[in-house]
Amino acid sequence: MITDKQVSEALRQVMHPEMKRNLVELEMVRDIVVGDGSVTLTLMLPFKQIPIKDDLVRGVQGAVAALDPDLEVKVELAEMSQQERAAFMTAAEGGPKPSQVMNKVEHVVAVLSGKGGVGKSSVAALLAVALHRQGKQIGVLDADITGPSIPKMFGLHETPPMGPLGILPAGTKTGIEVMSINLLLPSEDEAVIWRGPLISSAIKQFWQDVAWGHLDYLIVDLPPGTSDASLTVMQSIPLSGIVLVTSPQDLAGMVVRKAARMAQQMGAPILGLVENMSYAVCPNCDERIEVFGPSRAMHTATHLGVPLLGRLPLDPELARRCDAGEIEDYVSEAFDPVAEQVVERVPSSKTAPTFP
């Protein structure tokens, strides 16, 4: 009678036609069960409906049947989780880089909006600052390659140095680590005129080639919408969760729902929704003025089936601090509960390793 070890060795001969590595190395084979005259196993796919699905199944069945032509081979299909998919993509690209081996990133939280102009980068920066004030080690990966604004908010202008294991992130005055394409350009006004593949490659390098070291949280500032950049992050980085950002207009709510659907289809957990620029406070009478109309935050959150993390005001002081590179000096009582809920809702388990 054959053993599960023999089956596993046989499946090492089945190569992924696109990755040029065998299915066992890519951790696509799970739960091998050898019975009386049968073998059952699970084939893990990054997505269930990949075009080569049938070819992979036939390859698996053929390799096992070669051990014994009379065996009945049952192949069950399952879809990888978002974190398993990220590890799969790392393995497919040839394994971890030296910097990844040394990095220890506990949790990765991405900040995503559907529509531009809703203050997504401000929310990402405020989240990083609030978590850092809690005593956590924080990094910020600016994945908005064509519209980077994180360095200016933190007052960063110098090119990051190269270390023995990779690029060293820039450090803010309070110790938050930052990596952005704007730190690598000759001028912060220089335009990044790249097509999707180059943008995706830059984001992967910021994750794989930067020596982040030990971080409790890495905050990823995604570009608006459902473009290649967001897709790359959700495919290649093991996310602990996503924070959605919208504003009161129904138009913004409609577009953020598209971004939420993308996250759900990719298996990325949504931690909750933040409504930014929800109101302004009159400096004379403290009356709340709904500048962009009545709040639709609860309606949008309920429609998506996600928690409402908070409503943030339209504050001229925040704009002034961001322009001056002083966001770490900005204090917001409205944002502190948002950061606390993010910590509470992030899964208690660590993220998947950055390498298989």
Give me the mean pLDDT over the 287-304 stretch.
90
Nearest to 326 by CA among 158, 206, 184, 152: 152
Cα 132 to Cα 261: distance, rounded to the nearest angstrom? 30
Q: Which CATH architecture has domain 4-79?
A: 2-Layer Sandwich (3.30)
Cα dist from 168 to 90, 171, 207, whole Å: 21, 9, 12
Which residue spans of the chain are classified as CATH 3.40.50.300?
91-345
- Say if residue 344 is exposed, middle or buried (CB neighbours under 10 Å; 0-12, 13-18, 19+): exposed
Q: Is 7 helix (H, G, I), strand (E, B) or coil?
A: helix
Band of pLDDT at residue 307, cut at 50, 70 and 90: very high
The pLDDT of residue 161 is 84
Return the C-alpha torsion angle 267, 272, 277, 281, nearest 10. 180
Amino acid at 231: L
Which of 33-37, 64-68, 140-144, 192-196 shows the highest mean pLDDT? 140-144
Cα 300 to Cα 120: distance, rounded to the nearest angstrom? 17
With vertex at residue 48, the alpha carbon angle to CA 47 and CA 54, rounded to the nearest 5 degrees, is: 120
Band of pLDDT at residue 93, cut at 50, 70 and 90: low
Which residue spans of the chain are classified as CATH 3.30.300.130?
4-79
Amino acid at 325: G
pLDDT tens digits for range 316-329: 999 999 999 999 99
Instruction: Output helix, strand, coil percentages for the chain, rounded to the nearest 5.
Output: 35, 25, 40
Q: Which CATH superfamily is domain 91-345 in?
A: P-loop containing nucleotide triphosphate hydrolases (3.40.50.300)
pLDDT tens digits for range 106-140: 999 999 998 888 999 999 999 999 999 999 999 99
Give me the mean pLDDT over the 245-263 stretch.
89
